[in-house]
Chains A and B, each alone.
Chain A
Amino acid sequence: DAKTTQPNSMESNEEEPVHLPCNHSTISGTDYIHWYRQLPSQGPEYVIHGLTSNVNNRMASLAIAEDRKSSTLILHRATLRDAAVYYCILRDVTSGGSNYKLTFGKGTLLTVNP
């Protein structure tokens, strides 16, 4: 199974950009990169996903390396509400084809300072 590696924690200042890295050196050609975030005592929420090209939505941007072995979630202007655990995960297709598991690691705890 393809795995991801993220820093345990990062710190940012309010209204500054934040770049959250994720390494996935064993990614396969058809693995999508998904990002979720989890606020304290809540369930995770979807942030963004992509395959090869960089992606933008109202919450964040996803920059994917050309070799796809790493990616970066970009929060353009961090707010206090962005303080959360951020998970970078890969589609995990088990043998049998149609099964689809999403495996979550420990993620990166982002602290935003006022």
Chain B
Amino acid sequence: DGGITQSPKYLFRKEGQNVTLSCEQNLNHDAMYWYRQDPGQGLRLIYYSQIVNDFQKGDIAEGYSVSREKKESFPLTVTSAQKNPTAFYLCASKKWAGDNSPLHFGNGTRLTVT
């Protein structure tokens, strides 16, 4: 079955460490997205990528970095510069950034930094 896989489901890190969240899709989608969700809040866009080797900052990109070297993969690195990294991180993809095809989401990674 096609879909988006985020791993791991839960991740624990010490403050000051960088951590990379994995996102893989086998839907052959060009566009991929990273969102952050805090308790009781909506989703906020961190970064998005329209196509391989391209990505743009979303609304809250500070303290995060991404790469898009392969179509299937869009890893997100939470750096030590991110002041409040503890959150639920969601990866999504869609066929093409410019159309109205729906976003497909993974089941998220819950990151806890202490």
Contact = CB atoms under 8 A, between A and B. Distances in A.
Given A42-B107, A44-B103, A101 B58 contact: yes
Interface in B4-30: 4
A44 B97 contact: no
Interface string A13-40: 0000000000000000000101010000
A96 B4 CA distance: 28
Contact of A49 (B48, B100, B107): B100
B42 A87 contact: yes
Contacts of A46: 102-104
A100 B44 CA distance: 14
B42 A105 contact: yes
Given A42-B108, A43-B108, A87-B42, A99 B50 contact: yes
Nearest to A36: B103
B50 A98 contact: yes
Contacts of A106: 40-42
B2 interface: no
Contacts of A32: 100
Interface string B76-104: 00000000000000101000011110111
Nearest to B104: A46
Given A46-B103, A49-B100, 9 more contacts: A42-B107, A42-B108, A43-B4, A43-B92, A46-B104, A91-B100, A101-B48, A101-B58, A102-B45
Interface of B: 4, 31, 33, 35, 40-45, 48, 50, 56, 58-59, 90, 92, 97-100, 102-108
27 contacts: A32-B100, A41-B107, A42-B107, A43-B107, A43-B108, A44-B43, A44-B90, A44-B105, A45-B105, A46-B102, A46-B103, A46-B104, A49-B102, A87-B42, A91-B100, A98-B97, A99-B98, A100-B31, A100-B97, A100-B99, A101-B45, A101-B48, A101-B58, A102-B33, A104-B43, A105-B42, A106-B41
